[in-house]
Structure 1
């Protein structure tokens, strides 16, 4: 049974799951239904805004720094050079149930000089489209053990993210030879991946 985390909580993934290696990190969200087209004009589809959220992973060293472009895993760079992290591709709308985007991680293959994986979501072209995370509901991140398809952890983001255009969702990090997960759930006003990266330069 999955452990449901609250914002700020942390849990060890490997302590109670001996041999855990291959995991899937799923992120999901749904657009909030709106009445009519409003000021978004043609961006609405069936009364719901067509919001293109992009999930990405920042691969950090022990100083919480990103070293080069290849350590940014996103729709334009789907696989880490080590082969340990693989993004399964971009979902353009957020329609449908379940995960909207999935990222595969092989914990045993993550290079030893990598200390943390930061999972983030931003809204593509948010300024031009006048969109923010107050227009999103049911956002979550979950971790699946791929050896048995068991959901280990789920974190439902329940804060009000109105006027926030970026989310720092959660972190996978090493601690005393264990892999832990922290539920971050922090909203930000960054309007692109590049702006989100400034805190890790």
Structure 2
């Protein structure tokens, strides 16, 4: 049975699951009834970060247009433009054993594509979650449901995998940004246009 986390909680991933090397990180969401006339397009993105919490290069930013990090150990499965249906809307595969040594943390984020331009925010999104699944067995190990109401944010850091004493842990973050993907990129040390 999956362990359900609350905002701010941290949990061992590899220590409590010996032999775990390949995981799937599923992110999902629904949009509330919305009459703005524009479609909602939420996107999962991933930042591979060094010990200072910064991305070393653009290749450490994984999303639908850059689906893999430099060695392929973090891979985005593709863009879901509608979020329709139950279950994971977007997935990221992570080979924990192959993640480069200089990657100390992997941050998983959800952003609203053109959120400001379309007058959309996470106050119009419900049932957002992140879950970690053992790729081999298909067993859900960890789940974090974002119950918080982000009324003006257009980007959310949902959770982070991080190294601690040779093991991988997961932290339920739930931190919002008002300036979307550009704000996240700046936060992680990448220049934005």
Specify the TM-score bucket, using the shorter chain as the normaliser. over 0.9
Residue by residue, what CA displacement relative to the aligned partner does 1:66-109 show, whole Å, maximum 9, x if unpaired? 11100000011001111101100001111110000000000000
- Give the Cα separation in 2 of the matches to 1:170 and 1:143: 10
Moved over 4 A (4+): none
Query: 2:140 maps to which residue?
Result: 151
Does the 8 Å CA contact 2:177/2:183 hold for their aligned counterparts? no
Greater Rg over alpha carbons, structure: 1
- Give the Cα separation in 1 of the matches to 2:182 and 2:70: 20
2:129 paired with 1:170: no
What displacement does 1:194 show?
2.8
What displacement does 1:33 show?
2.0
What displacement does 1:195 show?
2.2
Aligned residue for 2:182, secondary structure, equals helix
- Give the Cα separation in 1 of the matches to 2:124 and 2:46: 23
Normalising by structure 1, what TM-score?
Answer: 0.92
- Give the Cα separation in 2 of the matches to 1:83 and 1:121: 21
2:181 paired with 1:182: no
2:118 paired with 1:93: no
Normalising by structure 2, what TM-score?
Answer: 0.95
- Give the Cα separation in 1 of the matches to 2:70 and 2:140: 27
Structure 2 counterparts to residues 101-140 of structure 1, below 5 A: 101-140=90-129
Query: Unmatched 5+ residue regions in structure 1?
Result: 44-49
- Give the Cα separation in 2 of the matches to 1:161 and 1:81: 33
- Give the Cα separation in 2 of the matches to 1:174 and 1:13: 10
Query: 2:186 maps to which residue?
Result: 198
Query: 1:47 maps to which residue?
Result: none
Bigger fraction of residues in helix: 1
- Give the Cα separation in 2 of the matches to 1:70 and 1:51: 27
- Give the Cα separation in 2 of the matches to 1:115 and 1:184: 16
